[in-house]
Amino acid sequence: MAKYSFLTVQTALDIHRHVVAAYGGILAEPNHARLESAVGAVRASFAGVPAHEGAAAVAAAYVFHLVKGHPFLDANKRTAFACSRWFLHINGMELRATNAEVVDMAEEVASQDVSERHLAEWFSARIRATPQG
């Protein structure tokens, strides 16, 4: 498995604060146990084998676990996608998806209409290496 830089709980919290400041919503103290669980789930492994293989699976895991874990009072879906985009960014990749595609997928995840595997496939089709400039 490739070596990735992962988000910390503090980074996810900072991203959430930025999302709420930039796009509106209610900023309140999160459920720290749920936040730690969601961020930690991304790095889970069993017998040394990562539960999430590849950048698409890791990006999907951030979205899936933050949306499902619902650690924030507001803006969970927006924060989840912002966290996945930041994960991709710090690892030299980007998500190429329209805002409408992201909103639709976020709603599907929240309504339990999509599996984590399907979400990883969705990411896989839309992740590109960041152009070196």
pLDDT digits (tens, 9 = 90+) for 104-125: 999 999 998 899 999 999 999 9
The predicted structure's pLDDT at residue 48? 86
What letter represents residue 19's amino acid? V
pTM of the entire predicted model: 0.94
Alpha helix locations (H) across the chain? 9-23, 32-41, 55-69, 76-90, 99-110, 116-124
Strands 49-50 and 45-46: antiparallel
The predicted structure's pLDDT at residue 133? 46
Residue closest to 52 by CA, chosen among 133, 125, 124 = 124
For residue 46, report the phi and psi dihedrals to the nearest 5 degrees: -135, 120
Which residues sit opposite 50 in a β-bridge?
45
pLDDT at position 90 over 90? yes
Tell me the domains of the chain and their CATH numbers.
9-129 (1.20.120.1870)
Average pLDDT estimate for 50-74: 96
Binning pLDDT at 50, 70 and 90, where does residue 59 land?
very high
